[in-house]
Chains A and B, each alone.
Chain A
Amino acid sequence: MALFEEIAAEPSEPVPVRRVTISVNGERRTADVEPRLLLAHLLRQGLRLTGTHIGCDTTNCGACTVLFDGKPVKSCTMLAVQADGHEITTVEGLGGASELHPVQEAFKDEHGLQCGFCTPGMMLAAKALLDEVPDPTEDEVRWALSGNVCRCTGYQNIVKSVLSAAQKLQGQSAADGS
């Protein structure tokens, strides 16, 4: 069949690459990447951390949110090379091996997710908020999550989840402090 003969040969010219070293979830990872590779794609395809999702082409949905040196960023809008030398936390690094982060627990307890596609990004945006503002108001939660779209839940239970995680975390730190 003609189509088979037409299949192109293996790539001949090497594509330019750059070496990057990123701390991902506390582990040093080194990779050779094309300069145009998006951070989201490096995480998902290169490092197989598929909990970081992609929901749009225009930096609007927040499904790809990760923590960059502790701050939430949209990993679809950042090049992998920009992360060189920085610390990235993805949903896979949110809890410990067996323990869940209180934000994760709260999302489950308060039914803060349905299809789960927005959830990793939501939880990381929430964690970043709670790191800064341990006792947020409902409005502060809604504002902090306003870069993240959820099509399923209508947000009410997400807000509830974040407020309940805040309480839990505060209880924990009070216990640690005493």
Chain B
Amino acid sequence: MTALDEIKIGGMGARRRRVEDNRFIRGRGNYIDDIVLPGMLHMEILRSPLAHARINSIDTSKAWDIPGVRLVLTGEMMATRNLAWMPTLSYDTQAVLATDKVRFQGQEVACVIADDPYIAKDACEAIVVDYEPLPVIVNPTQATADDAPLIRDDKENQPDNVIYDWEVGDRAGTDQAFERADLVSTIQLHYPRSHPAPLECCGSIADFDRSTSKLTVYMTTQAPHIVRAAVALIAELPEHMIRIISPDLGGGFGNKVPVYPGYVMSILASILTERPVKWIEDRTGNLISTGFGRDVYLQGEMALRRDGKILGVRMHTDADHGAFFGDAQPSKFKIGLMHSAFACYDIPTAHLTARGMYTNKAPGGVAYRCSFRVTEAMFFQERMVQAAADDLGMDQAEFRRLNFVRDDDFPHRTPFGFLTDSGQYGKCLDVGLKAVGYQDFLKQKEEAKKRGRLLGIGISTMTEPLGAGNSREYDILGIKMFDSAELRVHMTGKAILRTGAKTQGQGHETTWAQIVAHELGLPAEDVLVEEGDTDTAPFGMGTYASRSTPVAGAAVAMVSRKIRAKARKLAAHLLEVSEEDVDWELGRFYVRSAPDRGVTIQECAMAAYSNMPDGLEPGLEGNAYYDPPNLTWPFACYIATVEVDPETGVWDVLNMVAVDDCGVRINPMVVEGQIMGGLTEAYAMASMQFITFDAEGNCVGSNFMDYLLPTAWETPGYELHEVVTPCPHHPIGAKGIGECATVGGPAAFVNAVLDAIKDTGVRNIDMPLLPDRVYEAITERHDVSGAPPVKVDD
């Protein structure tokens, strides 16, 4: 009897083709807008054209007159149900439909439910709203000015526009480090507002059945169980009578974590009309009202010793949260995990202060392909590191290497108190430098300069915390951040697995089965994976912040092990030996002293239903709740080389090398897909993708003509490399990967462009590095800071 070949059964490490693709390539996916229920009505939302205004009146009479209109809702009507406001995920409140004022452009003012979406849109246009414009605030500086109008006058105890004033780290120790410094390097940066913009917008279909009192909501959500809890609390409905179903999602990237007003309105509309009500957001609605990412300003200082050692770091961030504090993040930390910055460097002390401000912009602060502000943290870190290397006149690679945490220094306490688990930082850097041909490129660059050509190389190295919890420190609205899996092995050895996560393109239907195959020896194709239905899936916190593999993936391994433990009892019974005499190899138990005598896992499954020993509970099913002991800490080294055209400011990527160490790879093909997708978002942010606002608070970037997303034409090619340092505390040694490239990538591109134009003395150009901004920096020889101004032509 030869042991099973794990790759052949689609286990760990197999480049298994994806199961979900079978329906997607046939156009048979089941996305929210593909679902049609009998008698379904359609909802459209009327949004505010103004960023800040008092609502004097709303006249809906003309809308009611349009044939086919079933219901028109305003804030006043919502208020009679106590639903005009709802809680956010950050202990703030957000208007569902505006009552007193609108506080950002695109805010929901009314909605119409009609027989078809065209009629509902017509009716929205027939609603007349009398607005009285108010002064507008579009950035943190304006928000904290002495005469700033108060945005959240709806709240008690909110005398100004400051949401929080928070600090973490060692202030006194850091002050001392700066006193001892030979050199202090400083930099100011802005990470512009951006939007995850999954290709599918948000939407919901609420279906309230009066006869059973059951509310079923199909919803584009990355976290269906959190939504069930939220609906139970907001709408005061019994939780067991709420079923949230998240169907196939056309991407999420953090955009589909929060609970949006549209969902709540569709639920109320279904309760009132006793018909299913569908709401499908349009792209403008998506971009101007749902969760944005970033929009943070940094003042950074680094205390340096002459020989290149970093002695301490000071950071101050001002974050623009928009009109409602709607960050989706662990409750304890006000600016997410910004303080995970500098985790890969051996720095004795650091201190971070952070302020958050209300402005007349859309709320959000979602973790856009990001583990709660680590994207900003790592961008700031790698820009500060680059600036420091330049100030010291040191080689950028050597400066990093000198300050890296050493391989034998794990677990390592970071300057802000995290405990990193493992890594081989120097090795990753070496692999990257070799792949890009570092020394050769430096020579090439000097040669090119003589001929007037500008070449540059940019490095970004980072480790980031992925996979919240542990439950001691991580919760959202008090709900602890663990995750879950439930496995049922049927008598013929086929199985169904359900988890509390929710795939949005990551391929859980494929990769979770690979973990089961690895643990039990069941061929992956014999394991059906289902997620997203709160009536059937075990409670979990959902998929975002790269937490699925670290948390739910671990739960899959743990539940498989529980099943294996029970199967061992069945095997002992079948083999007529005691349990202690039974050994395991992939897919099979055998008698230790007589390895030829064995039973397969499938035979054990059959026995669980047909031939169990006395006293053993029948069946072969189990569940596991996994509370991670720590976050997982993948490491990445991204190196970009670029050429900048001095005549136009246009820059081209010559090469982008990515070295990722995400521990053990379940499915390398899927991991590589995540990295390439992430690199493209990094390139997008560095080069073109941003949302800004004019002085009146008009959103610029409210559709795909203004909000630029790279296509296949602009997007560079990538060269991927891997290093594997298994995670010491994860059951299968895996670490998160979904966002590493988005987090670490932008700094590599920006550092490369700045390296190319270093001779101009320019220290910084804030993202996006649009050609006109690069051109301005080259020709005017000054830094280009802040969000790109809105050009008004008249």
Beta-carbon contact of B199 and A156 below 8 Å:
no
On whether A91 and B197 interact (CB within 8 A), knowing A3-B272, A7-B273, A53-B250, the answer reads no
Please tell me if the beta carbons of A115 and B505 are within 8 angstroms of each other in the complex: yes
Give per-residue flags for B182-212: 1 if the beta carbon is below 8 A from chain A beta carbons, else 0.
Answer: 0000000000000001111100000000000
Contact between A7 and B199, CB atoms less than 8 A apart? no
Q: A3-B272, A91-B26, A100-B25 are in contact. Are A53 and B200 (CB under 8 A)?
A: yes
Q: Are A90 and B27 in contact (CB under 8 A)?
A: yes
Does B21 contact A107, Cβ atoms closer than 8 Å?
A: yes
* Chain A interface, >50% SS class: loop
The distance in angstroms between the C-alpha atoms of A95 and B507, with both chains bound, is 23
Closest to A49 in B: B27
Report whether B505 and A114 are in contact in the complex, using a CB–CB cutoff of 8 Å: yes
- Smallest CB gap from B114: residue in A: A8
Given contacts A3-B71, A55-B200, A115-B198, contact A91 B283 (CB under 8 A): no
Per-position contact with B for A10-45: 1 when CB-CB < 8 Å, else 0? 111100000000000000000000101100000011
Question: How close is A124's CB to chain B, nearest CB, in angstroms?
Answer: 10
| B15-42 interface bits toward A, Cβ cutoff 8 Å, 1 = contact, 0 = none | 0011011111111110101101000000
A142 to B711, CA, bound (A): 8
| With known contacts A61-B199, A108-B21, A111-B18, A56–B673 Cβ distance under 8 A | no
A116 at the interface (CB under 8 A from B): yes
Q: Is the CB of B20 within 8 A of A153?
A: no
Selected contact of A57 from candidates B20, B69, B283, CB within 8 Å: B283
CB distance from B265 to the nearest CB of A (A): 13
Residue with the highest number of chain B CB atoms closer than 10 Å, among A37, A51, A111, A123: A111
Looking across the interface, which residue of chain A has its beta carbon closest to that of B65?
A8
CA distance A51 to B34 in the complex (A): 8
Contact in complex: B712, A55 (CB < 8 Å): no
Closest approach, in angstroms, between the C-beta of A92 and any C-beta of chain B?
5
Is there an interface contact between A57 and B703, defined as CB atoms closer than 8 Å? Answer: yes
A55, B199: Cβ atoms closer than 8 Å: yes
Q: A149-B199, A154-B678, A154-B679 are in contact. Are A113 and B25 (CB under 8 A)?
A: yes
Q: Which residue of A lies closest to B73 (CB)?
A: A3
Q: Which of B31, B64, B118 is A53 in contact with, Cβ under 8 Å?
A: B31
Q: Is B175 an interface residue (CB 8 A)?
A: no
Q: Which of B64, B200, B672 has the most chain A CB atoms closer than 10 A to its own CB?
A: B200
Give the complex CA separation of A149 and B26 in angstroms. Answer: 19
Given A107-B21, A151-B197, A155-B715, CB of A11 within 8 Å of CB of B67:
yes
CB distance B713 to A142 under 8 Å? yes
Q: Which of A57, A115, A153 has the most CB of B within 10 A?
A: A115
A52:B27 contact, CB within 8 angstroms? yes
Distance in angstroms from A113 CB to nearest chain B CB is 6
B506 touches A (CB below 8 Å): yes
Contact, CB under 8 Å: B711 / A114: no
Check B70–A8 contact: CB distance below 8 A.
Answer: yes
Is B673 in contact with A114, judged by CB distance below 8 angstroms? yes
How far, in whole Å, are A109 and B507 apart by their CA atoms in the complex?
Answer: 14
Q: Is there an interface contact between A116 and B248, defined as CB atoms closer than 8 Å?
A: yes
A6 close to B705 (CB less than 8 A): no
Beta-carbon contacts under 8 Å, A123-166 to B: 123, 141-143, 145-159
CA distance A152 to B23 in the complex (A): 17
**Is A81 an interface residue when CB atoms closer than 8 A count as contact?**
no
**A75, CB-defined interface residue at 8 Å:** no
Q: Are the CB atoms of A51 and B201 closer together than 8 Å?
A: no
Residues of A within 8 A of B21 (CB): 107-108, 113, 116
Give 25 pairs: A residue, B residue, CB < 8 Å, sorted on A: A8-B65, A11-B115, A13-B67, A37-B118, A50-B27, A55-B201, A56-B283, A56-B703, A58-B704, A95-B26, A113-B25, A115-B250, A115-B504, A116-B23, A117-B198, A117-B199, A117-B200, A118-B199, A143-B713, A145-B712, A151-B251, A151-B677, A152-B199, A153-B676, A156-B715
Chain A residues with CB under 8 Å of chain B are: 1, 3-4, 6-13, 34, 36-37, 44-45, 48-58, 60-61, 63, 90-92, 94-95, 100, 104, 107-109, 111, 113-120, 123, 141-143, 145-159
Extra contacts, 17 of them, besides A117-B200, A157-B673 (Cβ < 8 A), are A6-B64, A8-B64, A11-B115, A45-B36, A49-B27, A56-B704, A57-B703, A60-B704, A104-B26, A113-B24, A116-B20, A145-B711, A151-B198, A151-B709, A152-B251, A156-B715, A156-B718
| Top 4 A-B pairs, shortest CB-CB distance | A51-B27, A116-B24, A117-B250, A115-B505
